[in-house]
Amino acid sequence: MLSNQNPPAMMVEVKPQPTYILPKVYIANSAVYEMTREVLSNPGRETGWGLYGIIAKDRLTVYIVGVIRPAVADITRHYAATTLGGERLADSVRWLMANVELNKKNGINIDGDFAFLYKGHSHHQLGYGQYSPTDKDSIKESVIKEGLELAIGPLATIDQTEMKIINRFGGDISVNNSAKVKFTFYYYDRYMYEAGVVEPVVIKPTVLNARAVPALPPLGWQFASDSDYMEQLRHLRAYGCNVKTSYRDTDNKPPFEIIFTVTRNDWKGILVIETAWDFPRTLPKFKVVPNIPNKDSVCSLRYKGLEHLLEGPIWNRDEDFIEAIFRLEARGEL
């Protein structure tokens, strides 16, 4: 016999949703432009870049200030995947951190803490509109295993590329080429991990003019122009020179100067090339230090009073250091 009574309702356990507070995220328009240039410079394969910025003291505001474009030695690009990371990327982060500390010593403070904010990635060639599970796991691991306080990972896609040919009067042909780059930002932090949030979430940063974002020391030219820096080293070493680079504050103001200490077996002296962070806009200084028996004093560059500041036409902006060396050898300076 069928009963008209309703069956007892099943008890369903409702798990409480994890609670967390997302900070407000702002990004400098200059950083957006840098990311766009990196994506468009590699339209046929994947690429990546680093992000750095400031976490405010209240931990409720994050500023994405700048982008570390990939060094040649630190990135491998493929059609379907890319890897980013290595000594040059780590060295650029150390450079920024050291210059933040130098700023503090000179009374220039930021309202918060400098932070590496993870890295961006492009999937445009694959047409993906969101991170893959592997990519999301890497964002989480940067927080859980690598110790970042928070991670922000922008994913770039190229939606469309249009090319128009315009035949103008007089025989001129103009070609207009346009591309639309889209960025989707994913966010994950330690509070989310502790609250049981299993995947990064999509956020919408607010774009600010670069002047409205708290200032950080600029990247030195050895990172901003990595290919030029490596080319200088290659030429010097190919000529038989030994080269050591170091960072020092030589003008009593930030950021650090980049110092090249160059030696060669048949030279009578040691060449010291001092470059500012914005080389070649600021001209380098060339000095020669006599070879002295105390190697420790040479390595640490404690040669005050011994160096000979070189003058006259030594180097032009469109030349490499090796050409200045040829002139110095011809003048008998080395």
CA atoms within 13 A on the CB side of 42: 26
pLDDT for the residue 79: 63
pLDDT tens-digit readout, 162-172: 667 776 666 67
243 and 262 Cβ atoms separated by less than 8 Å: yes
Tell me if 131 sits within 8 A of 199, measured CB to CB.
no
In this predicted structure, what is the pLDDT of residue 49? 92
Residue-level pLDDT at 265: 92
DSSP letter assigned to residue 199: S
255-294 burial code (b ≥16 CB/10 A, e <16) = bbbbbbbbbbeebebbbbbbbbbebbeeebbbbbbeeeee
92 Cβ contact partners less than 8 Å away, ≥ 6 residues apart: 50, 68, 71, 219, 223
Q: What is the pLDDT of residue 314?
A: 80
Q: Please give the class, per CATH, of domain 24-217.
A: alpha beta
Written as one string, the DSSP assignment of 136-163 is: HHHHHHHHHTT--SEEEEEEEEEEEEEE
Mean pLDDT of 140-169: 84
Residue 241: closest CA among 332, 331, 321, 327: 321
Nearest in space to 117 (alpha carbons), one of 181, 198, 40, 185: 185
pLDDT per position as a tens digit, 81-110: 677 777 788 888 889 988 898 888 888 888
Query: Residue 248 corresponds to which tokens in the numbers above?
Result: 């020092």
Q: How far apart are CA 247 and CA 231, in angstroms?
A: 19
221 and 166 Cβ atoms separated by less than 8 Å: no
Give the pLDDT confidence of 191-222 residue by residue, as tens digits: 999 988 989 999 999 999 999 998 898 899 99
**Higher-confidence position of 174 and 118:** 118
Query: For the chain, how many helices (H) and strands (E)?
Result: 8, 15
pLDDT at res. 312 = 59
- Partners of 157 in the beta sheet? 182
324 Cβ contact partners less than 8 Å away, ≥ 6 residues apart: 273, 286, 314, 315
What confidence tens digit (pLDDT) does each residue in 107-130 have? Answer: 888 889 999 999 998 887 777 778
- Higher-scoring residue by pLDDT: 312, 42: 42
Least confident of 150-159, 202-211, 309-318: 309-318
Boundaries of every domain in the chain: 24-217, 224-330
